[in-house]
Amino acid sequence: MSIAKRVLVAEDNVVLGDVIRFNLQRSGFATTLARNGNEAIQMLTEQTFDILVTDYEMPGIDGEELCHRVRNELKCESLRIVMCSARGLELDRDELKVRLGIDAILFKPFSIRELTILLENLIIAASDCDPQLVSN
């Protein structure tokens, strides 16, 4: 039997982080919560995750910096990244996706259900090209 898909949620808004974890766990994701960018980096170096869900604006290391480090310093190339942002049109979605290797960007207020479906699809897409990810 495949192990639960491991998700790291980096969200400084405690209340929102809690409800994301609550829902993801119920959908079968092994969910870990980081309260800021520094904590997220720490966890990423210590453990392996399949998906990172990160806020864009966080104190200290923000979402953008976090993604940059994930790709360039931690070399987590197979990690799927979903970014959530309370910013709107001022963010250039396509540019961010390409530059930071982000799979999807959600704007707050987003639907928890949408997020869950998005993560499930990402896992399926990843398993199509890398069966190791879900079968080991």
Partner 1 sequence: MFVAHHNRSLTRRLSEQYLLFGLSGLFFFTVSAVYLSWHGSLLQSIPAAVGIPLVFLLLGSFVLRRTSYWHENIERQLTHFANSEDHSVTELRPLPATDALAAGWNQLLARILEHSAWNGVERRLSEAVDTQQAKRWEAVFQDLTDGIAVCNSDGRITQLNRSFATLLQRPDSKNLVGMDITDLLLGLADENSQEQIRGLGNNHATQVLEIQKSADPSQGVYRLSRTMHTGDSGGPADSIWTLRDVTQQKLAEKAREQFVFTATHELRTPLANIRAYSETLALASDIPFEQQQSFYNIINNEATRLARFVDELLNISQMEAGAITIQKHEVQLERLLSEVLESQRPVATEKKQSFDSVFAPKLPKLMADKDKLAAALTNLISNAIKYTPVGGKVTLRVDADTTRILFLVEDSGIGISADDLPKLCGKFFRSGDERVQAEVGSGLGLAFAQEVARLHGGSISIRSQLNQGSCFTLELPIR
Residues that bind partner 1 (CB under 8 A): 12-13, 15-16, 19-20, 22-23, 26, 57, 59-60, 84, 86-88, 90, 107-113
| Least distance between partner 1 and beta carbon 110 (Å) | 7
Whole-angstrom distance, CA of residue 85 vs CA of residue 80? 17
Q: Are 37 and 65 in contact (CB under 8 A)?
A: yes
Is the Cβ of residue 55 or residue 103 nearer to partner 1 in the bound state?
Answer: 55
Nearer to partner 1 by C-beta: 86 or 125? 86
C-beta closer to partner 1: residue 117 or 124: 117
- Cβ atoms of residues 61 and 69 within 8 Å: yes
Q: Which two tokens stand for residue 71?
A: 């790709």
**CB of 77: closest distance to partner 1 in angstroms?**
30
The closest alpha carbon to 97, from 71, 76, 61, 133, belongs to: 71
To 10 degrees, the CA torsion angle through 64, 9, 115, 131?
Answer: 100
Residue 25 or 47: the one with the smaller Cβ distance to partner 1 is: 25
CB of 36 to partner 1, least distance (A): 9
| 79, 53 Cβ separation under 8 angstroms | no
At its nearest, how many Å lie between partner 1 and the CB of residue 45?
A: 22
